Amino acid sequence: MNPVVVIPTYWCKSEGQEGAYDHATPLDKPRPELETCLSSLEGVRGVMRVVVLLVAPPACEDGARARVNAVCASHPRLNPLVIGHPEAVLVRGATSAISPGMAGETVSLRGYGAIRNMGLAVAAVLGHDVVVFMDDDEVALDPEFLVDGVYGLGRMTRQDLPILAKSGYFIDRSDSPLADESHAAWQDKAWTKRSEFNAWMRRALSSTRISRSNYVCGGCMAIHAEAFTRVAFDPWITRGEDLDYLFDLRMNGLDVWFDNAWRVRHMPPPSASAPARFLQDVYRWVYESRKLEDAGGRIGLHKVTPESLMPYPGPWIAPSVRKRISRTARARAFAEPEHGAYLDIWIHGLKEADHYADEVGTSYLSFQSFWPRLMESLWDDKALAERLLGMGTPAGRGSSTGEGTAR
């Protein structure tokens, strides 16, 4: 196998700046999360290339590029490649030429799903047959991190099911793999994601090493080319694009498998405001339930049901999720300090999420129909690879493409 580690990194101008992404690194942070992540990979066996996807608003793009280039240049053993705006323009140009009818930013450095697709597209251009996703606020804990990541990929289960996508999991600073339920409050009585997730995780951790997954950790995820050249991430999902990818794979007859021996440590910086995250979740779950309902009636797609995903995330893709959203927004409007923000979500946010789902609910299924042909055209494109490596290799590194890998 010829795996590549792909790491999205999000940057902002200053500490506390409100942005579109949960965890963004300020330009003046002395030791950015990316440095800690790459340092942890220095001790990992078998790292052949690391692709860093640089996401930054135009106002601080140049400064972020300088910081990221400096961080990457200090880790030459990892063979780093930075994909920022100029490199993304090249890739988007190639994808537009292949599928000129695609609307929106489906392969880009804007939007969680589109950013993941950019990572898959670059991997295809460079001929890597396995993509291992990490997040920049996570660290590898073991020299065998990559060996564990590709363990079982490309093989069949005892039931003759292919293992083409895998998820590990993360532990927090207290070494716990479980979501924190210690601060559960009455206003979140309907917002029970954490307890439902924990019920599933406890079962998965006590099962065999490889089991069918209901969960995806986007920062500890491995995808074989047989899966990522067939199924794209959804560019229209507002957050949770990793779990959504599990739904997308199932719609296309594939599965994500959980590896309870593969893990990373999650060390996130302070998050965006709670109302902003909640509003993204409102859009996410309304859109998710609408998309899966529509896909269930399409010929050639497998139906993904809430019952098949219990105890988590089944309840969150059921039509009843709208009641959970409404009850939680109303309760938080009374109980939380940001009562005005939650009141607005209760009055307007759910309706706006419905409108968004109506507007783009079938967009992913249309885009997905282009994806296999797009990836086939990009695969091992040596001319494009030379250009990307020439532009994105930090100073002091060579720009050899290496050997492509045939699927």
Q: How far apart, in Å, are the Cα atoms of 148 and each of 139, 171, 192, 206?
A: 15, 16, 32, 18
Q: How confident is the model at residue 402 (pLDDT cuts 50, 70, 90)?
A: very low
Flag whether 282 is in a domain: no
Residue 166 three-state SS: strand
The neighbour count for residue 194, using CB atoms within 10 Å, is 17
| pLDDT value of position 185 | 87
Flag whether 345 is in a domain: no
pLDDT(212) > 70:
yes
Flag whether 11 is in a domain: yes
Flag whether 202 is in a domain: yes
Flag whether 286 is in a domain: no
**What is the average per-residue pLDDT within 349-362?**
93
pLDDT, tens digit (0-9, with 9 covering 90-100), for 258-302:
999 999 999 988 766 789 889 999 999 999 999 998 898 888 999
pLDDT, tens digit (0-9, with 9 covering 90-100), for 140-186:
999 999 999 999 999 999 889 999 999 999 999 999 999 998 877 89
- Is residue 248 within 8 A of residue 367, CB to CB? The reply is no
| pLDDT value of position 401 | 39
pLDDT(101) > 90:
no
pLDDT(397) > 50:
no
Flag whether 144 is in a domain: yes
Domain count, the chain: 1
- Is residue 230 within 8 A of residue 342, CB to CB? The reply is no
Flag whether 305 is in a domain: no
Flag whether 335 is in a domain: no
Longest CA pairwise span in the chain (Å): 60
Residue 235: give the domain boundaries.
Answer: 3-272+364-379
**What is the average per-residue pLDDT within 201-212?**
96
| pLDDT, averaged across the chain | 91
Please tell me whether the overall predicted TM-score, pTM, comes out greater than 0.85 for this model: yes
The CATH number covering residue 143 comes to 3.90.550.10
